[in-house]
Structure 1
Amino acid sequence: MVDAEPSPAKFRELMLDEEPDLREVLACVFNIQRHEAKTYETLLEFPGSTVEELAAELDRDRSNVNRSLSTLREKGLATRERRLLDGGGHVYQYSPTPLPEARELMHETLDAWAEYVHNRIDEFGERE
């Protein structure tokens, strides 16, 4: 299972929003920051980007973008590939998990969370 737990606080916010966007839903379901969700959205637009390219596109520091990408990889929302450079050395390129797969991850994560909550509800009163 992917390392993801919905945030109860973000879930409450999401329920109050009449039309939450992808960024808000990602932040809630995967318990990530909004800037990390924005990084995912940017990767959807520019797959195969490097940290430097994403930092320029997002107007954020490279170290912050690198941390966002690490989080996205941990949550199963991005992958990294090493590309060799013609002059020697290498660079990492990042790609998003395709949106249909990300949607499936969101469903699986929420289903697992709902099952956990249902099990907790069923346990109430059993220990008395």
Structure 2
Amino acid sequence: MTGSPQHRLGELMEQSNPPFEEVMSCVFGIESHETRTYLVLRDQPGSTIDELAATLERDRSTVNRSLSTLHDRGLARRDRRLLDGGGYVYQYTAIVLPEAKALLHEALDAWTATVHDVIEEFDGGTG
């Protein structure tokens, strides 16, 4: 599923039983690789960028961007772990699935309410 969120929503609505991953990507406006990162992170809490890059077979910069997006959307938490030799490393943990589902429902409900308002406010005029 590629393209703008509007096109993605249209594609999603054409499917009678869309996969969860596509619903998540569409509703949150994230790419499929970011959704995949969330799902891997859910199974491997406390992962570092290097660990995720190895698991996902992607370069560090791509994984870092995915994690930033997930963090911005509230789908992942970032914690700093101090290293024994000094310094620190970030560890990422996905929010639990029930919380992600609740965020999906909230986002979809908000969008639906907006669409209902647009429908109700339309008076049939041009412009």
User: How high is the TM-score relative to the length of structure 1?
Assistant: 0.89
1:79-98 to 2 correspondence within 5 Å? 79-98=77-96
Q: Is 2:119 aligned against 1:121?
A: yes
**CA distance in 2 between partners of 1:24 and 1:126 (Å):** 34
What's the offset of the Cα at 1:18?
A: 3.6
Secondary structure at 1:80 match in 2: strand
Cα distance between partner residues in 1 of 2:125 and 2:86: 64
RCO higher in 1 or 2 (8 Å CA, sep ≥ 6)?
1
Following TM superposition, by how much is the alpha carbon of 1:21 offset from its aligned partner in structure 2, in angstroms?
2.2
1:110 is aligned with what amino acid?
L
Aligned residues: 123
Rounded Cα–Cα distance in structure 2 between residues aligned with 1:11 and 1:67: 23
Whole-angstrom CA distance in 1 between matches of 2:28 and 2:9: 11
After TM superposition, give the deviation of residue 89 of structure 1 in Å: 0.5
- 2:92 maps to a residue whose letter is Y
Q: Distance in 1 between matches of 2:31 and 2:73?
A: 12
Q: Judge which range, 22-31 or 81-90, deviates more.
A: 22-31
Consecutive unaligned residues in structure 2, runs of 5 or more: none
Report the equivalent of 1:40: 38
Q: CA RMSD in A?
A: 1.7
Moved over 2 A (4+): 15-22
Deviations 1:26-76 (A, max 9, x none): 111101100000000110111110000000000001001000000001111
Mark the CA change 1:21 to 1:126 in structure 2 (over 3 Å): closer, same or farther. closer
| Structure 1 residue 76 corresponds to structure 2 residue 74 | yes
Aligned match of 1:3: none
| SS in structure 2 of the partner of residue 94 of structure 1 | strand
Q: What is the deviation of 1:19? A: 3.1
